[in-house]
Amino acid sequence: MQQPELAGRIALVTGAGQGIGEAVARTLADRGARVAAIDRNAEGITLLEKEYGAARIVAHTADVTDSAAIDAVVDTVEAAIGPIGILVNVAGVLRPSRVADLTDQDWNDTFAVNTTGVFHTCRAVTRLMSERRSGCVVTVGSNAAGVPRTSMAAYAASKAAATMFTKCLGLELARSGVRCNVVSPGSTDTAMQRQLWTDPQAPLRVIDGDPASYRVGIPLGRIAEPSDIAEAVAFLVSDRARHITMHDLYVDGGATLRA
């Protein structure tokens, strides 16, 4: 009987309590990895641990903005479970606002989670990966990092920073055999997406586009499910992608019309 693709691998996934992060944790666990699921809200990851059992998913409550807390989780996982071979950065926040109305707190909070949080986890984990000369990192960014969006300047800028950080890290670590890639979703059916919907027709406007906000629609005619993003992550952390690094994979149904 063939072993699951990620059997024997240990993965650390941030933002695993809901949405894309939860889907990533589930997908990696279903493919044989043992997952350390991190979220600052204990509820979702605790339910995941109960559903899968601690032999497959272990919950760790921590905030990615707290570097000491992240270092402690990494130390705990390495000591109790084994060497982390996969890191997936999913934790993120969105505070939609036009720039003129954007508060200092919202700007700082957005970068603290979406950008600095990625730095904290990557620094803690890839130090160990590079010593072992093995491992892979995937940062879940956003297609907003490459296409301007109204009322999303802080979010887009933070995701653009996290994307370039991940690529630079990939260049630094390439000779050690550690791969670093980005998955950039478009509109995905998550709580973060739904906070932008103000009426029942909002999903249709996402698909059809909104000329008033200079936004094209989704050529494939559907909003992504979290599992669509998780599948892209699972590919990039697998040996099937062993010669791919510093790549930014857009999973947005063609919404950004990228060449």
Element holding 236 (H helix, E strand): helix 226-237
Nearest to 160 by CA among 146, 179, 150: 146
Distances (CA, A) of 181 to 22, 139, 226: 19, 6, 18
- Examine the residue annotation and report whether 214 is marked as an active-site residue of this protein: no
DSSP state string for 173-192? HGGGTEEEEEEEE-SBSSHH
CB 67 within 8 A of CB 112: no
CB 122 within 8 A of CB 100: no
Which residues are registered as beta bridge partners of 38? 14, 60
* Per-state percent for the chain, helix, strand, coil, to nearest 5: 50, 15, 35
Catalytic residue set: 155
